[in-house]
Amino acid sequence: MGLFDKFSSTVELTPTVAVATAMIYMMSSDGEIAEEEMHYLAMTLQSFGNPQEIIDMASKYAKKNNLGVFLRESNKMLNDDQKMTILANLIDVLLSDGAAEEEEQELFYRFTEAYGVSDDEIQPYIDIISVKNDFAIFLETEAV
């Protein structure tokens, strides 16, 4: 152990860090991460332990490694179920504001391609999460 090891920004990519990192990449695809998005991320990560600690590790990882490195490393490390869970969470983030921006879609498809998931496999997830996030139907009924 070196004298400065505790100051190292190296973060081990674990499945938990991978979930948070993937979501950070998606949230930042428009150039910034909104406070609401960080709150959503923290709420999502609560079941893993200390959400702020996980967010800090994921942020360090994302700053040090570009998306290509992350996709290669996470693809090797994660099992198929973990990859699908990450993709489902990315869909949720992508559709949470009711619009799927072009850069978000492009980023999402980089994930599906890297993880070897076809459009046919992911489409049911997109469909159900879009229904989950469609709160406009409640506003329409209240106006009647």
Identify whether the C-beta of residue 126 lies closer than 8 Å to the C-beta of residue 84.
Answer: no
- String of DSSP letters for 52-106: HHHHHHHHHHHHHS-HHHHHHHHHHHS-HHHHHHHHHHHHHHHHTTS---HHHHH
- What is the rounded CA–CA span in Å between residue 115 and residue 70? 11
Highest-confidence segment of 5-9, 28-32, 104-108 = 104-108
Structure tokens at 62: 């994302």
Identify whether the C-beta of residue 64 lies closer than 8 Å to the C-beta of residue 102.
Answer: no
Q: pTM for the whole thing?
A: 0.85
Tens-place pLDDT, residues 74-120: 999 999 999 999 999 999 988 877 678 889 999 999 999 999 999 99
